[in-house]
Chains A and B, each alone.
Chain A
Amino acid sequence: MTEFLAYASMALPEMLRGTLITLKLTVGALCIGILIGLPLSLVRVYGGKLLQPFCMAYLTLFRGTPLLVQLFVVYYGLPELGISFSRMTAAFLTLGCNSAAYQCEYFRGAIQAVSKGQMQAARGIGMGRLQAVRHIILPQALRLVIPAWSNEFIAMVKYTAVVFLIAVPDLMSRAKMLSSQNFAPIQTYILVAMIYLVIVGGLSLVLHFAQKRLTVPGFDFGQDAR
């Protein structure tokens, strides 16, 4: 045990630097995911027939292929076409675009769960379509989406670990190095697992409080049986 603690105190500073990058990647990818996913979901629900095939193509592409393949295509493949990114940019872009596809579907489900009457009533008091979406539909849909979206948040923390394969110095990369330098795979990866657990646990708490704060009667996130 003391041996483990000694190793931990030696390895932790390096690991925490990696953790910072993991967190950056998570937050960045989720933000890109919202920026692309939310408009995409609006197109899916309200967009005309013309735009649907593009949406579907995007969703199929990113949900139908492994994240790792996407990462390699972006980082190793695109430079052959003259488009090259730094490791970090490639990681942000790939994780973000991938997350957008999933987030789009979460948002779409939530938007469609808001009853049609809400749109009618909003139009009835003279709101335009965009105004109605912004002031009436989205505030409700975004509350409804929180449970599903929390999943995406938590999954993303862990998905970021794939970036060690293009040598982004995240938590996983640094752990791999520490492990081989010190011949200490068990200690290292137990520490890594513990760090991921702490992050996910912390995030779950934050999301839980966010959810509580946003609760209004009638939006009890399943605590009330409807």
Chain B
Amino acid sequence: MIKPLLRIKNLHKSFGKIEVIKGVSFNVNPSEVIVIIGSSGTGKSTVLQCLNLLHRPDSGQIFLQDQEITSPGVDEDKVRQQMGMVFQEFNLFNHLSVLNNVAVGMIKVLKVPTVEARQRARDELKKVGMADHQDKYPAQLSGGQKQRVGIARALAMGPKVMLFDEPTSALDPELTGEVLAVMQELASEGMTMVIVSHEMGFARQVADRVIFMENGLIEEEGTPDQIFCDPFSQRTRAFLSLINQGENPGGEIQ
């Protein structure tokens, strides 16, 4: 029996009067790639942002290995250092060069000496194919390049798990490929990943498990084959058939 890396138990979260997550539970095993799918506004991104405490859940528990990170008094900053977050809007630090975007966390948070941090940052950039762009600034990069730097920035902190919040939704179809390729590479290296995505083709190829969320709840979860070919739930079926209609050759959902 493998011990889960993350255990999420009965998570609830409301914004004002609107309950966005209504009791979500799942486990994430080491080296597992989980893709969360579902229509817009069903709480997928909120679940992800609760995982690294960017949103504080109202109730429920999250365990990172043996530590309950939702219990009061836990150092949130320490928790976040162990989870890499990749944002839909990239959110690269605009005033820093590509190299420093990746190095700044190591230097300021992990207190790695600058020279060593830069060296490690270069290695991470190499991994995402951005080593040649290390001296550029975010404003000089394409969306796909920005997102690859975003991934390198998160990896540089040596996270136990990577969280991807719709990493390709803000990209042109021709740029999604380069980002997905990097993610696929990561998955094959054994990185634990939780991905909120609309890329069904990618989910099918890379995911170990797919979670379909609807209305703040997990409607169905299973292997990609089971979810995409033979879903139990009527709603999953309806969602997937809608998606299939809208699917274009690039795999981007319009």
Interface centre among A118, A120, A125, A127 (most CB of B within 10 A): A125
Cβ-closest chain B residue relative to A141: B95
CB of B125, distance to nearest CB on chain A (Å) = 15
Rounded to whole angstroms, the CA-CA distance of A111 and B23 in the bound complex is 36
Q: Which residues of B contact A121 (CB under 8 A)?
A: 85, 87, 91-93, 150, 153
Q: Which residues of B contact A217 (CB under 8 A)?
A: 136-137, 139-140
Does B33 touch A at the CB level, under 8 Å? no
- Contact yes or no, B139 A125, CB < 8 A: no
Does B192 touch A at the CB level, under 8 Å? no
Does A128 touch B at the CB level, under 8 Å? yes
- Contact yes or no, B94 A126, CB < 8 A: no
Q: Which of B89-133 contact A (CB under 8 A)?
A: 89-95, 97, 104-105, 108-109
Q: Which of A98-135 contact B (CB under 8 A)?
A: 115, 117-118, 120-128, 131, 135
With A124-B52, A124-B54, A217-B140 as contacts: A118 and B154 at CB distance below 8 Å: no
Q: Which residues of A contact B109 (CB under 8 A)?
A: 125-127, 131
Q: Is the interface of A mostly helix, strand, loop or mixed?
A: helix
Q: What's the tally of chain A residues with a CB closer than 8 Å to chain B? A: 22
Rounded to whole angstroms, the CA-CA distance of A117 and B91 in the bound complex is 5
Cβ-closest chain A residue relative to B139: A218
Q: Which residues of A contact B91 (CB under 8 A)?
A: 115, 117-118, 120-121, 124
Rounded to whole angstroms, the CA-CA distance of A143 and B80 in the bound complex is 28
Rounded to whole angstroms, the CA-CA distance of A115 and B88 in the bound complex is 14
Rounded to whole angstroms, the CA-CA distance of A136 and B95 in the bound complex is 8
Does B3 touch A at the CB level, under 8 Å? no
Cβ-closest chain B residue relative to A131: B108
Q: Which of A205-226 contact B (CB under 8 A)?
A: 216-219
Q: Which residues of A contact B153 (CB under 8 A)?
A: 121, 125
CB of A114, distance to nearest CB on chain B (Å) = 8
- Contact yes or no, B94 A125, CB < 8 A: no
Q: What's the tally of chain B residues with a CB closer than 8 Å to chain A? A: 30
CB of A139, distance to nearest CB on chain B (Å) = 5
Rounded to whole angstroms, the CA-CA distance of A218 and B85 in the bound complex is 23
- Contact yes or no, B81 A126, CB < 8 A: yes
What 0/1 readout, one digit per residue, does chain B (146-163) give for beta carbons within 8 Å of chain A? 000010011001000000
- Contact yes or no, A127 B108, CB < 8 A: yes
Rounded to whole angstroms, the CA-CA distance of A122 and B157 in the bound complex is 12
With A216-B95, A219-B95 as contacts: A124 and B80 at CB distance below 8 Å: yes
Cβ-closest chain B residue relative to A121: B91
With A124-B54, A126-B80, A216-B137 as contacts: A139 and B105 at CB distance below 8 Å: no
CB of A171, distance to nearest CB on chain B (Å) = 38
Interface centre among A122, A124, A216 (most CB of B within 10 A): A124
Subset of 15 A-B contacts with CB under 8 Å: A117-B87, A117-B89, A118-B94, A121-B85, A123-B54, A124-B91, A125-B80, A125-B154, A126-B78, A126-B105, A127-B108, A128-B77, A140-B95, A217-B140, A218-B139
Interface residues of A (CB under 8 A from B): 115, 117-118, 120-128, 131, 135-136, 139-140, 143, 216-219
Interface residues of B (CB under 8 A from A): 52, 54, 77-78, 80-81, 84-85, 87, 89-95, 97, 104-105, 108-109, 136-140, 150, 153-154, 157
Q: A123-B77, A126-B157 are in contact. List 20 more A-B contacts (CB 8 A).
A: A117-B87, A118-B93, A120-B87, A121-B92, A121-B93, A122-B93, A123-B54, A124-B52, A125-B105, A125-B153, A126-B77, A126-B78, A127-B109, A131-B108, A136-B93, A216-B97, A216-B137, A217-B136, A218-B138, A219-B94
